[in-house]
Amino acid sequence: MNDAQGSPQTVVVFGGTSEIAGALLRRLAARRARTVVLAGRDAARLEAAAAELRAAGVTLVETLPFEAADTAGHQALVDGVFDRHRDIDLALIAFGELGDQAALEADPEAAAGLARVNYVAAVSVGLAVAARMRAQGHGNLVALSSVAAERPRRSNFVYGSTKAGMDAFFRGLGDSLRGSGARVVVVRPGFVHTRMTAGLPPAPFATTPDAVAAGIVRALETGAATVWVPSILKWVMTVLRHLPGPVFRKLGER
Amino acid sequence: MARELLAGWGRTAPTSADVCRPPSNAAALAALAAAPARGVIARGMGRSYGDAAQNAGGMVISTAALSGIGWADEASGLVRAAGGASLGDVLGFLVPQGWVLPVVPGTRHVSVGGAVAGDVHGKNHEVDGSFAGHVVALTLATPGGARRVTPGDDPDLFWATAGGLGLTGLVLEATLRAVRVESASVRVVTRRAGGIDGVMAALDAGHGRHRYAVAWLDGLARGAALGRGLVSWGDHAGVADLPAARRAEPLALGPARSVAVPAWWPGSPMPVPAVAALNELRFCRGPDVETTSVEPLDRFLFPLDAVDGWNRLYGRAGFVQYQFVVPFSAGDVVARSLDRLRAVGCPPLLAVLKRLGTADAGPLSFPMPGWTLAVDFPASLAGLASVLDELDELVAGAGGRVYLAKDARMRPELLAVMYPELDRWRARQRAVDPGGVLRSDLSRRLGLLGTIAGAG
């Protein structure tokens, strides 16, 4: 069960090798998390993450092969997790790909693949988790969106559009869960220094996985439905969202 | 039966359950027999601060409609009250006839069943013990059917139920021993004390001289003034103590006066400087030397009831009430806790200190001889989670414990340290509920029934 400050005891992560997930789990393990399920693709990395969690005091860590694009298997996979561990207090949707914008523009099939992972798979996992949380009467569903969801940019609009879709989906899902005891938290980090962004020029207000994790923990304490990391991005994006197209494009070229 | 979102009085961690409101004892027993896979727990007035009376995804049986009150034996002051009757209603029945309940908590809005399940205590614990000590008999709806339980006939089940957080069954009815009073007033002696040591010394000095004793502390004061407060002692007033105007009808209870928190109250907690200013005012208005007044019984006993819906003052994210007791020999933990809370920027907005007396036989019953401090915080306060974890360790290390009926965040690993008779309680609980039907969010969160986290 979650405690008064939103600290979970049982956590499942979809995209279990995500660095943001790792940072969040380190913080949760220091509080109340004693059971963690890591679902992901890279077995070796999952095992390494699992070992770190065991060392941090998590008594039960389960690793689970999870293929985001295999939406047909999601329902059974999610049901299996909930059946084995009975209560899931927090589910984190942490999988996603950035892709290379130029390559994606040149390869529509690859772009569709990115959309399947970032958006379509998030929808199917999100619905499967939401149904079980509704039934158990509680739970926090945390979805890693992106600041890129807010307004498409020339330089990464394929990725941005997939995040915009998943962001809208989880906000709507949150509304649909009102009164059920389950809650959705949508997280919109700016540029985060991770494997996924290695080698890319950092954007302004770049942040770290641990800062994002701290933002999520804070949202669990306050009950916020949306988290921006760093928090100033909320105001930055409020301005950027309303800029006239030519000005916005000009900014994007810099 | 409908799904409803339920939270404790602290309004933290709400969860949803199917709520059923049986109109009779028979219907309550039938509901218990039809418990779903995620189990069932009883809920009275919802005044437990934490998650003791909620059961996510399962069933919650509201005792609201089970509210009858009558004499079992008027001559000896035995009153029979249904599990859903509020202590306020019981007093409304008793006081005009010259009786009171010997033990009541700081609010009248507590059900008889809840008072048993929390084994609540009042400002007179050193003199009168806790609630269960004045319960003569219980009618308990258990998964195996209705059972009449007395401390003499079935001490195991009786004391597992006292402080048992509803996990041995639903209290259908309790027979309570009332005590005689001459008036509906209390003779109150009050004085202020300049720091936590002064307050504790004052409470020590008053020990044994009065029935009731309590101190309100200013947890926001700085430096040496930290923990300064008002100490109040009370005794039931005789007719001769009353002002002439009240002597004609000494047992008349005035109308319950309260103001409500307005609907437009913002979603954020009360600002700390405002509370600090109110504390300053309250402290400075307190008398420097012992001063006697005569106050209506309910105003003295139920200070929390002066403001309806006061839990909303803490804003949308709710609040945490943390209450611990430490042995008298570890009284320094009180000052160290207040210091630590101040140091990390989490000073309590409300703090109450009392002395507790002899423990009763309930393995999960909270009171034990020592100092008990209760403190309130907005739940969203940054850093609160870790400082309360620190205090837990301090309290457990000193041989003390945290009050489970108020808990919403304790580290489950400390449960057996704080409640060394836990295994004995578990064995009795299992005996009355072998199928594991009775469950609550609290029991899941703390692993009360045997397995930590995840045990359905």
Residue A25 located in a structural domain: yes
Is residue B456 less than 8 Å (CB to CB) from chain A? yes
Cis link prior to A230 (omega < 30° from 0)?
A: yes
CA end-to-end span of chain A: 47
Residue A5 located in a structural domain: no
Q: CB A244: neighbour CB atoms within 10 A?
A: 8
pTM: 0.95
Q: Domain of A199: which CATH number?
A: 3.40.50.720
Chain B residues within 8 A of A227 when measuring between CB atoms: none
Cα–Cα distance, B65 to B224 (Å, whole number): 50
C-beta separation of B69 from B82 below 8 A = yes
| Mutation site, B6, B16, B413, interface A, largest A CB count within 10 A | B16
- What number does CATH give the domain B76-180? 3.30.465.10
- What number does CATH give the domain B2-64+419-446? 3.30.43
Vertex B189: Cα angle to B185 and B193 (nearest 5)? 145
Is residue A9 less than 8 Å (CB to CB) from chain B? yes
Q: CB A39: neighbour CB atoms within 10 A?
A: 28
Residue A174 located in a structural domain: yes
Helix (H) or strand (E) holding B196: helix B196-206
Cα–Cα distance, A63 to A49 (Å, whole number): 9
Chain A residues within 8 A of B382 when measuring between CB atoms: 218, 221
Sign of CA dihedral B434, B440, B444, B445: negative
Vertex A204: Cα angle to A203 and A210 (nearest 5)? 85
* Inter-chain CB proximity A6 and B38 less than 8 Å: no
Cα–Cα distance, A94 to A37 (Å, whole number): 13
Residue with tokens 């509370």: B275
Is residue B422 less than 8 Å (CB to CB) from chain A? no
User: Which of B118, B117, B86, B114 lies closest to B101 in space, CA to CA?
Assistant: B86
* DSSP-assigned states of every residue in chain A: ---TT---SEEEEESTT-HHHHHHHHHHHHTT--EEEEEES-HHHHHHHHHHHHHTT-SEEEEEE--TT-GGGHHHHHHHHHHHHS---EEEE-------HHHHHH-HHHHHHHHIIIIIHHHHHHHHHHHHHHHHT-EEEEEE--GGGTS--GGGHHHHHHHHHHHHHHHHHHHHTTTSSEEEEEEEE-SB-SGGGTTSPPPTT-B-HHHHHHHHHHHHHHT-SEEEESTTHHHHHHHHHTS-HHHHHHHHH-
Is residue A140 less than 8 Å (CB to CB) from chain B? no
Cα–Cα distance, B337 to B364 (Å, whole number): 24
Chain A: closest CA distance from residue B103 (Å):
29
Please tell me which of the candidates A3, A10, A222 has its beta carbon nearest to residue B409.
A3
Q: What is the DSSP letter of B16?
A: E
Residue A245 located in a structural domain: yes
Residue A57 located in a structural domain: yes
Interface A-B, measured as beta-carbon pairs within 8 A, has a size of 102
Helix (H, G, I), strand (E, B) or coil at B19: strand
B82 φ, ψ (degrees, to nearest 5): -70, 155
- Statement: B185-252+266-414 belongs to CATH 3.30.390.10: no
* DSSP-assigned states of every residue in B235-288: EEPPGGGS-GGGSSSTTPPPP---EE--TT--SSPPPHHHHHHHHHHHHHHS-S
Is residue B383 less than 8 Å (CB to CB) from chain A? no
Active-site residue, from A66, A95, A119, A159: A159
How high is the pLDDT of residue A254?
Answer: 60
How high is the pLDDT of residue B268?
Answer: 83
Helix (H, G, I), strand (E, B) or coil at B421: coil
Chain A residues within 8 A of B316 when measuring between CB atoms: 223
**CA nearest B453 in A: which residue?**
A9
Cα–Cα distance, B287 to B214 (Å, whole number): 15
Residue A77 located in a structural domain: yes
**Residue B355 neighbours by CB under 8 Å, 6+ apart:** B125, B126, B203, B204, B207, B213, B328, B370, B371, B372
Q: In chain B, what are the domain boundaries?
A: 2-64+419-446, 76-180, 185-252+266-414
* Inter-chain CB proximity B445 and A179 less than 8 Å: no
Residues in chain A predicted with pLDDT less than 70, given as ranges, are 253-254
Two tokens, residue B52: 């003791």
Return the axis-axis angle of helices A157-176 and A108-115, rounded to nearest 10°.
Answer: 30
Based on the structure, what is the number of domains in chain A? 1
Is residue B402 less than 8 Å (CB to CB) from chain A? no
Is residue B36 less than 8 Å (CB to CB) from chain A? no
Is residue B92 less than 8 Å (CB to CB) from chain A? no
Is residue B17 less than 8 Å (CB to CB) from chain A? yes
**Residue B62 neighbours by CB under 8 Å, 6+ apart:** B19, B20, B21, B42, B43, B44, B84
**CA nearest B314 in A: which residue?**
A222
Say whether A159 is catalytic: yes
Evaluate whether B2-64+419-446 and B185-252+266-414 have a shared fold.
Answer: no
| Mutation site, A2, A3, A9, A84, interface B, largest B CB count within 10 A | A3
Helix (H) or strand (E) holding B212: strand B212-217
Residue A165 located in a structural domain: yes
* Inter-chain CB proximity A5 and B50 less than 8 Å: no
This complex has an ipTM of 0.93
How high is the pLDDT of residue B451?
Answer: 60
**Burial bucket for residue A251 (CB in 10 Å: 0-12, 13-18, 19+):** exposed
**Residue B260 neighbours by CB under 8 Å, 6+ apart:** B307, B308, B309
C-beta separation of B342 from B294 below 8 A = no
Chain A residues within 8 A of B440 when measuring between CB atoms: none
Residue A225 located in a structural domain: yes
Please tell me which of the candidates A3, A221, A223 has its beta carbon nearest to residue B445.
A3
- Give the helix ranges, DSSP H, for B82-154: 87-94, 112-117, 125-128
How high is the pLDDT of residue B452?
Answer: 40
Please tell me which of the candidates B17, B50, B389 has its beta carbon nearest to residue A137.
B17
Residue with tokens 């523009």: A105
How high is the pLDDT of residue B388?
Answer: 97
Chain B: closest CA distance from residue A133 (Å):
9
Q: Which residues span the domain enclosing A89?
A: 10-253
Is residue A215 less than 8 Å (CB to CB) from chain B? no
Q: What confidence tens digit (pLDDT) does each residue in A84-133 have?
A: 998 999 999 999 999 999 999 999 999 999 999 999 999 999 999 999 99
* Inter-chain CB proximity B13 and A6 less than 8 Å: yes
Two tokens, residue B15: 């969860």
Is residue B444 less than 8 Å (CB to CB) from chain A? yes
| Mutation site, B409, B410, B448, B449, interface A, largest A CB count within 10 A | B409
Is residue B37 less than 8 Å (CB to CB) from chain A? no
Cα–Cα distance, B98 to B102 (Å, whole number): 13
Please tell me which of the candidates A4, A32, A181 has its beta carbon nearest to residue B12.
A4
Chain B residues within 8 A of A4 when measuring between CB atoms: 10, 12-13, 50, 318, 320, 379, 408-409
* Inter-chain CB proximity B16 and A86 less than 8 Å: no
CA B296 to centroid of chain Cα atoms? 21
Chain A: closest CA distance from residue B412 (Å):
8
Total residues found in chain A within this entry: 254
Chain A: closest CA distance from residue B341 (Å):
17
| Mutation site, B444, B448, B449, B451, interface A, largest A CB count within 10 A | B444
Cα–Cα distance, B354 to B371 (Å, whole number): 6
Chain A: closest CA distance from residue B96 (Å):
41
Between positions 15 and 34 of A, the ones with CB within 8 A of B are 31-32, 34
* Inter-chain CB proximity B17 and A136 less than 8 Å: no
Residue with tokens 């600002």: B271
* Inter-chain CB proximity A221 and B50 less than 8 Å: no
Give the pLDDT of chain B (456 residues) as one tens digit per residue: 889 999 999 999 999 999 999 999 999 999 999 999 999 999 999 999 999 999 999 999 999 999 999 999 999 999 999 999 999 999 999 999 999 999 999 999 999 999 999 999 999 999 999 999 999 999 999 999 999 999 999 999 999 999 999 999 999 999 999 999 999 999 999 999 999 999 999 999 998 899 999 999 998 988 888 899 999 999 999 999 999 988 999 999 877 778 888 888 888 888 888 888 888 888 888 999 999 999 999 999 998 888 888 888 888 889 999 999 999 999 999 999 999 999 999 999 889 999 999 999 999 999 999 999 999 999 999 999 999 999 999 999 999 999 999 999 999 999 999 999 999 999 999 999 999 999 999 999 999 998 643 343
| Mutation site, A27, A37, A138, A231, interface B, largest B CB count within 10 A | A138
Cα–Cα distance, A252 to A232 (Å, whole number): 19
**CA nearest B408 in A: which residue?**
A4
Is residue A222 less than 8 Å (CB to CB) from chain B? yes
C-beta separation of B39 from B427 below 8 A = no
